[in-house]
Amino acid sequence: MNPITNIKNQNKLNERELAMGIAGDLTKSWHQVYKDSAWIYIGGLPYDLTEGDVISVFSQWGEVVNINLIRDAKTGKSKGFCFLCYQDQRSTVLAVDNFNGMELLKRMLRVDHVEEYKVPKYKEDADEETKRLWEKGCAPEAIELPDMDESQIKKAKKRLKKQQQAIAGLEQDDEILMEVKKAKKIAKKEKKKAKKEKKKEKKRLKKELKARKAENPDGDWNMEGKLLDVGAKSEADLYGENAHFDFGKKVEEKGKEWNERPDFEKADWRIIEQWKIIREAEKAAKAAKGETTEAWGEDKGYLPNRIRRNN
């Protein structure tokens, strides 16, 4: 039968099991017939692949313990098919279901169970290396751990515990990094959102400025535009109460509430006479109110308390 027809028939069996709801139940599957054999047949292999290449591809479904890649007796070139044995028979089910009909280096693979695998007959002209490959295959051998006493077992457990703690610390660091990345993403989104809102506000201000121009075409629109940009309604809102922003505007000075005494040694005599007149008027006003007209008590403005006490 044509290999492609075999591939299609096999895939139909798998589809039928899926439709019936028995996929994965080996007691009811067609794979149950081959439960006693861990060998599979692989056909349609690219001719350049070696035993190691085939093991690398098929070892993802289980531990490979033996392989027999059929080669030409004279040239030693691969004939494009082989027999492969897994350590666990369940691996054959995975390999057949997943690799049958798969393309490998532009060639379609045909993978099927082998019910009874026959060991190849030795030939008289076969060399020792070929005989060894036929008997043992080229799959990696299982590593046998040496016997350990109780002290060595305790040390191994401690070492394993430290490794697990180190792995847990790395996982925690990964979680922190993920949180930092999430925070950065959130900050980036908020920044974009603020930028969009700023653009919308700018458009709104332009429309408002346009409406104001239509209402008052003779206004100072340079200043109005500045006020709109910052969301202010007047210059007071824009500059505040700082006198630095008055720009030479005249400010009315408030008069002093008291009559400041001039320096008699430096002031002009007219200013001194004027001060005396104002001072007499203040005394008269205080006397009318019944208040004292003396500016200072006796020696109060000139002598400290410690001197007055001594006197």
The last residue of a domain, from among 90, 116, 136: 136
Reference 115, options 39, 11, 26; nearest CA is 39
Structure tokens at 23: 């996929």
**Given 3-state DSSP classes, what are the helix, strand and coil percentages for the chain, each rounded to the nearest 5?**
55, 10, 35
Structure tokens at 183: 């925070």
**CA–CA separation, 95 vs 114, rounded Å?**
12
- Burial of 144 per CB tally in 10 Å (0-12, 13-18, 19+): exposed
Reference 282, options 311, 257, 305; nearest CA is 257
**Global pTM value:** 0.41
**CA–CA separation, 89 vs 40, rounded Å?**
10
Please check whether residue 116 lies inside any domain of the structure.
yes
Here the CATH number for the domain that contains residue 93 is: 3.30.70.330
**CA–CA separation, 152 vs 164, rounded Å?**
18
Is residue 241 predicted with pLDDT exceeding 80? no
**CA–CA separation, 247 vs 63, rounded Å?**
90
Please check whether residue 175 lies inside any domain of the structure.
yes
Is residue 169 predicted with pLDDT exceeding 60? yes
Q: Are residues 37 and 132 in the same domain?
A: yes
Q: Are residues 58 and 182 in the same domain?
A: no
258-284: pLDDT as tens digits: 557 777 777 788 888 888 888 888 888
With contact defined as beta carbons under 8 Å apart, do 205 and 229 qualify?
yes
Q: 229: pLDDT confidence band, cut at 50, 70 and 90?
A: low
Domain span including residue 275: 269-310
Q: Are residues 30 and 99 in the same domain?
A: yes
Domain count, the chain: 3
Is residue 183 predicted with pLDDT exceeding 80? yes
Please check whether residue 299 lies inside any domain of the structure.
yes
Q: Are residues 39 and 114 in the same domain?
A: yes
Structure tokens at 194: 């603020």
Reference 139, options 217, 243, 67; nearest CA is 67
Please check whether residue 147 lies inside any domain of the structure.
no
pLDDT at residue 271 in the model: 84
Mean pLDDT of 119-137: 68
- C-alpha pair distances (Å), 182 with each of 178, 225, 258: 6, 40, 69
Half-sphere exposure for 45 (CA within 13 Å, toward CB):
27
Please check whether residue 10 lies inside any domain of the structure.
yes
